[in-house]
Structure 1
Amino acid sequence: MVKSKAAVLYESGYDMPYVKSEPLKIETVTLASPGPNELLIQVRAAGLCHSDLSVINGSRKRQTPMVLGHEAAGVVTEIGENVTGFDVGDHVVCAFVPSCGQCLPCKEGRPALCEPGAAANNAGEMFSGGTRIQKEDDTDVYSHIGISGFSEYSIVSTNSAIKIDPDLPFDQAALFGCAVITGLGAVINTAAVKPGTDVAVVGLGGIGMNAVLGSVLAGAKSIIAVDLNEEKLAHAKELGATAVYNASDDDVVEQIKADTSGGVHYAFETAGVVPAMKTAYNITRRGGTTITSGLPDPKDEFSFPQVVLTAEERTIKGSYLGSCVPARDIPRYISLFKQGKLPVDQLIGEKIALEDINEGFDRLHAGKSQRIIVEFPST
């Protein structure tokens, strides 16, 4: 057992600003020893993501109390029974969908859709069942999609851990667990963008910026970035966007369609809101594909004229975890980063302490920062 300082959510729907209402309470919790096929990791860095924010604001309900955080990297400090392929001292990145390798989606090469993994995540439990976190009064605390990375220590399934080279800084490594594989994977895996085509990315958070980088990597002819924030639009140009548009312009759809002779071949919606999806859909050309990787409120609905799917041979696709195979893709993407072909280090904004996490989520909600990283000191 180990004591760990963690950010615990007791209920959703707190009033903003969070720096005042403090939905995340910084408390000491107790972690059980890792069970069979589990690892205890000392978390060294964890990114703030809209998927965490959606649990805090209540748009995506989860069991509470819960330690949030799913984009994390750290060091293995203890291993459970039957563990192979990992040793104490290994550096790992966490992938938030544990894959069993046996269900139909896993056998089809689609581990992001692993059925036992989804069931465990939805229950707020570990992949092998139950929870490994308790409050000091012995109350059980739920796990956030198998990671609970806003904690000094975390128990994760070996199905959720990817071993990485120890020379990769933890703040950069953490990005590969969500932002990189979700954004880059949507371009490379889900859409399979062809060289010389026109691409648009609507929403320039961590996932959207990685979609821009992925479009550069895929050899897109034009890469259009759309957002409400002028600083993010400027940053997208630095990363390789060939044109930028402010989503608040009344005629943004008409502008893009005129400048691309009818629209783009691939449009990526990464903001997780219906207006962004409408923009992405409306700027997709005849015969093109609209891909969404954002997670909107489950009550939100998006509609379109059904006839368009047939008459224009349009495609609408979802992309979860970038349609990635984490054990295959994370090492590949890290290799591309080391070769200088995937500058994800340029996507890191602020680095904060765990005690500042509520203010960090205020800034994430405001869309005023690139990826915010909680850094944990080495002990």
Structure 2
Amino acid sequence: MTAAVLYELGLPQPFAASTPFRIEEIELEGPGEGEVLVEVRAAGLCHSDLSTVMGLSSRPLPAVGGHEGAGIVREVGAGVQHIRPGDHVVMTVASGCGHCPHCDEARPVLCDNVEIGRASGSLANGNRRLSAQGRPVYHYSGVSSFAQYAVTMAGSLIVIDPAVPLDVAAIFGCAVITGAGAVFNAANLRAGQNVAVIGLGGVGLNSVMAARIAGANEIIGIDLNADKFPLAMELGCTRTHQAMDAGLVEAVLDLTHGGVDAVFEVSGNAKAVLTAEAITRRGGTVICVGVGAANALYQYPHNKLVTGEKVLKGSVLGSGMPQHEIPRYIDFYRRGKMPVDRLRSTTMGFDAMNLALDRLEKGEMFRQVLLPHDV
């Protein structure tokens, strides 16, 4: 099959010239026990993919990229009960093994075995199904959706209605559950509260849509790129501000009479975290969704955190259970309450993968979706 394989991290920009993704023919074994073979029909390009390419986090290489996708089940391994050939599925890394302590606590996004597999480039059961001319090729987050086919654990798949376009369904695997879940789960947002979202990309705009569904009063969108503001306003923002505006903090504090109840910091930028703390009211919460470099240290004013009883917390992949939440979010989409299709900036073939990284780094696109069989 054809796949986008990452061999080296930290190559120089532009990526269209340094080509971190090599488009190659590789081998894929069929599914073993508890595994499923999926014909990948669409895969979203995420900022997490860009961070890996830039060397901000390490992965075993070479690896087939991609952790967000959708496709059609073609074969199931022994012991798979709830998935059948022909099913349409969303592919997500926000799965769990079902028996580690975190899964027992209904927190599959923190699954120990999934994390071990992510770090070792294998599936959660330790198996690897990818190779090239007899040499091992590693899985990326147990999904590897930048390929025409993928073998994943059954728990990484959520069966959906075939009526949902797969190039839209793919976005639910990471962008939607991460952005919306941060609002519904990590913040437990209540109607009438005020919020801010820092970073209006694919994930941040899902936070905006979720905040509107939750009944937020003010939804303040903040980004470096003002070109994103018209869509952000259409999707739910009541105000927008440029991140480098010298009067940003004062404007938000004045508008909300002391600060917002929750800030969703999606960029992972250290300065943005400081801004998030500054615009949060006493007793409010900063939800850190974006990630920076793996070894980066962030600063915050500790005295204000203590005396103002502010909360600084992380949220990974929406802090929820994708098996329950993705169907819920798809229902929102089908009812017009969460128009996720508005975030699909463009579709592309393998030939545009490296150029797409440049577009993403420049903030020119919300979600670019690979169609692996359009070759």
Amino acid at match of 1:166: P
The aligned counterpart of 1:309 is: 305
The percent of aligned pairs where both chains have the same amino acid is: 43
Distance in 2, Cα, partners of 1:354 & 1:237: 32
1:38 alignment partner in structure 2: 35
What TM-score do you get using the length of structure 2 for normalisation?
A: 0.98
Q: 1:109-131, CA deviations, whole angstroms, 9 ceiling, x for partnerless residues? A: 11111111111111111111131
Cα offset for 1:309? 2.5
2:364 equivalent to 1:359: no
Deviation at 1:378, TM superposition (A): 7.5
What TM-score do the two structures reach when normalised by structure 1?
0.97
Unmatched 5+ residue regions in structure 1? none
Secondary structure at 2:341 match in 1: helix
The residue that corresponds to 1:105 in the other structure is: 102
1:320 and 2:316 correspond: yes
How far residue 79 of structure 1 moved from its aligned partner, in angstroms, is 1.1
Q: Partner residue of 1:261?
A: 257
Range that drifts further, 97-106 or 171-180? 97-106
In structure 1, C-alpha distance between the alignment counterparts of 2:367 and 2:302, rounded to whole Å:
37
AA in 2 matched with 1:347: L
Corresponding residue for 1:154?
150
- Are 2:146 and 2:372, in contact at CA under 8 Å, matched by a contact in 1? no
Aligned 8 A contact 1:97 1:118 in 2: no
CA displacement, residues 332-357 of structure 1 (integer Å, 9 cap, x when unaligned)? 11111111111111111011111110
CA contact (8 A) 1:40 1:154 kept: yes
Deviation at 1:307? 2.3
**Partner secondary structure for residue 292 of structure 2:** coil
Residues 1:172 and 2:168 are matched in the alignment: yes
Partner of 1:65: 62
Matches within 5 A, 1:13-28: 13-28=10-25
Determine if the alignment matches structure 1 residue 81 to structure 2 residue 78: yes
Q: What is the CA deviation profile of residues 278-331 of structure 1, one whole-angstrom value per residue up to 9, with x for unaligned ones?
A: 211111111100001111112222222322222111111100010020111011
Q: How is 1:37-56 mapped onto 2 (pairs within 5 angstroms)?
A: 37-56=34-53
Unmatched tracts of structure 2, length 5 or more: none
CA distance in 2, matches of 1:254, 1:59: 33
Instruction: Say whether residues 1:281 and 2:277 are aligned partners.
Output: yes
Which AA in structure 2 matches 1:49?
C
The 8 Å contact of residues 98 and 146 in structure 1, kept in 2 or not, is answered as no
**Where does residue 125 of structure 1 map in the other structure?**
122
Paired residues, number: 375
Cα distance between partner residues in 2 of 1:198 and 1:334: 25
1:44-71 CA-to-partner distances (Å, cap 9, x unmatched) read 0000001111111100111100011001
Kindly state the Cα deviation for residue 265 of structure 1 after the two structures are TM-superposed.
0.5
Contact 1:97 1:121 (C-alpha < 8 Å) held by counterparts? no
Write out the 4+ residue segments of structure 1 that deviate beyond 4 Å after TM superposition: none
Counterparts of 1:220 and 1:92, CA distance in 2:
31
Encode CA deviations 1:159-198: one digit per residue, 9 max, x unaligned.
1111111110011100110000000000000100110010
User: Residue type matched to 1:285 in 2?
Assistant: R
Aligned residue among 360, 367, 371 for 1:371: 367
Q: Is the partner of 1:244 in helix, strand or coil?
A: strand
Q: Which secondary structure does the structure 2 equivalent of 1:262 belong to?
A: coil
Counterpart of 1:115? Answer: 112
| Residue-by-residue CA offset, 1:136-155 (whole Å, 9 max, x unaligned) | x2110000000000000010
